[in-house]
Amino acid sequence: MGQSRVVCLTGAKCPICESELLLSESEKTIPYFGRVLLSLIRCAKCGYSRRDVATLEYGEPSKLVFNVMEAEDLKTRVIRSSSGTIEIPEIGVRIDPGPIAEGFISNIEGILERVQESSSIIAGKESGSKHERYAVFLDKLGRARRGELKFRLILTDPLGNSAILSDDPSKLKRRRLSKRDLANLKGSPSFLERAGQRDQAKV
């Protein structure tokens, strides 16, 4: 772990209580990936916080597809920055980027757990057909977490700040995003603008 620093973000206000925000940053080297910057924005007054992770080495706009075939694959590490989109088509999971999106380092099982916890809260507030649909969705999530369901985890990042770290290259496919791919991506326009600036700088 590299050196850490904490600074006050001048002019940046907490979206909850409008107090000043503090930024904590630290570097970390991840095997087979490289150096990343971990950041945490927090409010000392109300406790609001937002985390992110970004690579400190050049990344290119990319789409990663990992095939989960067995329970052991759930241990595969995932680095998802706030500009990354996660999709699991077989279950119906989609995690989009945006102004309040957080970056994280986890494994596939941890991602499923995050989705299961948040969906269980919502399901508890629904009734009728909506509750039934959530029940089916949660059942699929449970089977996936137990290694009983094969699925794909798709990670798309226009800034190249996200990664899937697999020991089995046969289960992971990677391709560079085209301009058409970037134009069709949902999310904050700033992500797409910055991706375009990277391409222009590279020419």
Name the one residue in this structure whose structure tokens are 């507030």.
125
What is the pLDDT, as a whole number, of residue 32? 62
Residue 45 domain boundaries:
1-57
Q: Count how many domains the chain has.
A: 2
What is the pLDDT, as a whole number, of residue 201? 44
Domain at 13, CATH number: 2.20.25
For the cut 50, the answer to whether the pLDDT of residue 110 exceeds it is yes
> For residue 148, is it within any domain?
yes
What is the pLDDT, as a whole number, of residue 149? 96
Verify that 144 and 72 share a domain, yes or no: yes
> For residue 141, is it within any domain?
yes
pLDDT digits (tens, 9 = 90+) for 54-63: 778 767 899 9
Query: Among 24, 41, 57, where does a domain finish?
Result: 57
Verify that 51 and 122 share a domain, yes or no: no
> For residue 187, is it within any domain?
no
How far is CA 117 from each of CA 29, 77, 140, 147, rounded to the nearest angstrom?
A: 30, 19, 14, 18
> For residue 44, is it within any domain?
yes
Domain at 96, CATH number: 2.60.120.1040
What is the pLDDT, as a whole number, of residue 29? 86
Verify that 127 and 106 share a domain, yes or no: yes
Average pLDDT over all residues of the chain: 84
Verify that 105 and 141 share a domain, yes or no: yes
pLDDT digits (tens, 9 = 90+) for 16-51: 999 999 999 999 888 766 788 899 999 999 999 988
H helices present in the chain, as ranges:
108-123, 128-145, 179-184, 189-202
Q: Kindly state the average pLDDT of the residues 153-173.
A: 93
User: Band of the pLDDT at 2, cuts 50, 70, 90?
Assistant: low
Q: Kindly state the average pLDDT of the residues 73-100.
A: 90
The answer to whether 27 and 37 are in contact (CB under 8 A) is yes
Verify that 49 and 99 share a domain, yes or no: no
pLDDT exceeding 70 applies to what percent of the chain? 86
pTM score, two decimals?
0.74
The set of residues, in sequence order, having a beta carbon less than 8 Å from that of 34 and lying 6+ positions away, is 55, 56, 57
Verify that 29 and 110 share a domain, yes or no: no
What is the pLDDT, as a whole number, of residue 203? 37
